[in-house]
Amino acid sequence: MTMRLLTTLGTLAAALALSACASAPTELRGTGDLGVVIERATGRVQIVEHSHDSSLGSVDGLGDLSHAHVAFSRDSRYAYVFGRDGGLTKVDLLTRRIARRIIQAGNSIGGSVSQDGRLVVAQNYEPGGIKAFDADTLELLAEVPAEYAPGKFSRVVGLADVPGQRFAYALFDANEIWVSDLSDPRKPVTTRYPAGKQPYDGLVTPDGRYFLAGLFGEDGISLLDLWHPEAGSRKILSGYGRGEEKLPVFKMPHLRGWSLAAGQAWLPAVGRHEVLVADVRSWQEAARIPVKGQPVFVMARPDGRQVWVNFAFPDNEWVQVIDTVEKRVIHTFSPGKAVLHLEFTPRGEEVWLSSRDSNRVTVVDTASFAVRKELPADAPSGIFFTSRAQRIGF
């Protein structure tokens, strides 16, 4: 009798323990198909997966996520979320909890992970400069203030990890490109190169060789060959505006290493409603493609056959697709209001698009352009998949 009662109690206790665990993910799973969607107004991120196109849950308490950026740990288990308010949060994608969180600056716009995965580096507006943290503990290891003249600090843009434990970035206020070598993370070594006027963002080509800084203050792009840094930086696509008056830019374009496709670089013009195409061998202009508005993101599908473009206010409900062989727009559509970002799945069969003012993320088939799914999200902005962890310059 007593024995039977004890067994029953034991079973009950086990069942209770199980049900308590059910709210947290317990099954083993990989992270290669996971991603993060920023819900910018609520300081929250959704954890999503693109094998079945679903949301797994959310994590909140991440602060001001306007202009938030995400980089991933080498093992793709953790997302480093960089907030506008200087918050740097390490989010565990599997348990969907905050693993660590620090406030590392007053005003920040993003960051990147070193080649060996051991450093997380943040790029900051206030105080202007970069900071390197231990990727496990988020302990501060080094700081490179962007002090370009005595007492003068620049806002840092376009930070990209490049081979050799180096980071390339541009100084908006100093018209320079800097490359910091963090091989010894406690003793960064920085080299300065002139850039053109007001570099607004930067990118490194997928092989890590060329760093490009887009210029706001003049028509053109600064190019630094990291295989021949001694040759210095040079300007390409200069004067693409041909002296014509610029159209107003209601949102700055963004650059990243997705710009290369079919042997060419596909870049947003600034103050012109065009996508600029440059040959990657000669860096000469190869074409310009008229588009619907001021391009913000110009992103190649991973195979390079298509380039997708979204736009600045007030044309931000539109998305256009360019065929990279025909070099013309082949599809124009609106997935929702205020399309802020898009992200391809690793091999590009689908793309996820965030519509801030329609409160949803739309998953689109890139071959048929059919909508595969719509996921509700609260004013979504950036979408980041873990496949970024395996790429140079993300």
Partner 1 sequence: MDRSLLIHVAVLLGLTALAVSAAPAAEPAPTPERQQTLVHMVRQDCGSCHGMRLAGGLGPALLPERLAELPDESLVATILNGRPGTAMPGWNRFMDEAEAGWIVARLKEGFPSLQ
Q: Which of 125, 385 has the CB closer to partner 1?
A: 125
The SS3 call for residue 303 is: coil
Question: CB of 222: closest distance to partner 1 in angstroms?
Answer: 17
Phi, psi for residue 316 in degrees, rounded to 5: -80, 10
Decide: 123 and 110 in contact? Cβ < 8 Å: yes
Tokens of 90: 């390490």
Decide: 372 and 364 in contact? Cβ < 8 Å: yes
Question: CB of 318: closest distance to partner 1 in angstroms?
Answer: 15
**DSSP state letter for 283:** -
* Residue 155 engages partner 1 in binding (rule: CB under 8 A): yes
* Residue 84 engages partner 1 in binding (rule: CB under 8 A): yes
Residue in 313, 329, 346, 374 binding partner 1, rule: CB under 8 A: 313
Count of CB atoms situated within 10 Å of the CB of 210: 22
Question: CB of 393: closest distance to partner 1 in angstroms?
Answer: 21
Residue 213: CB partners within 8 Å, gap ≥ 6?
Answer: 158, 170, 177, 195, 196, 199, 201, 202, 221, 222, 224
Question: CB of 110: closest distance to partner 1 in angstroms?
Answer: 11
Nearest Cα residue to 158 out of 201, 120, 199: 201
Q: Which residue has the tokens 């110009």?
A: 298
Residues 349-388 that bind partner 1 (CB under 8 A): 356-357, 379
CA distance 254 to 303: 20
The mark string for 110-129 relative to partner 1 (x by CB under 8 A, - otherwise) is ---------------xx---
Q: Which of 97, 246 has the CB closer to partner 1?
A: 246
Question: CB of 114: closest distance to partner 1 in angstroms?
Answer: 25
Residues 236-265 that bind partner 1 (CB under 8 A): 248-252
Q: Which stretch binds partner 1 (CB under 8 A): 8-16, 60-68, 115-123, 328-336?
A: 60-68
Q: Which of 176, 350 has the CB closer to partner 1?
A: 176
Please state the length of the chain: 394
**DSSP state letter for 327:** T
Question: CB of 40: closest distance to partner 1 in angstroms?
Answer: 7
Question: CB of 66: closest distance to partner 1 in angstroms?
Answer: 4
Phi, psi for residue 304 in degrees, rounded to 5: 85, 0
Is the bond preceding residue 229 a cis peptide, omega within 30 degrees? no
Q: Which of 31, 89 has the CB closer to partner 1?
A: 89
The mark string for 10-49 relative to partner 1 (x by CB under 8 A, - otherwise) is ------------------------------xx--------
CA distance 78 to 59: 13
Q: Which of 55, 66 has the CB closer to partner 1?
A: 66
Question: H-type helices in the chain, by residue range?
Answer: 2-21
Decide: 356 and 368 in contact? Cβ < 8 Å: no
Residue in 112, 198, 310, 354 binding partner 1, rule: CB under 8 A: 198
Rule CB under 8 A: which residues touch partner 1? 40-41, 64, 66-67, 84-85, 107, 109, 125-126, 155, 172, 198, 200, 216, 248-252, 313-314, 338, 356-357, 379
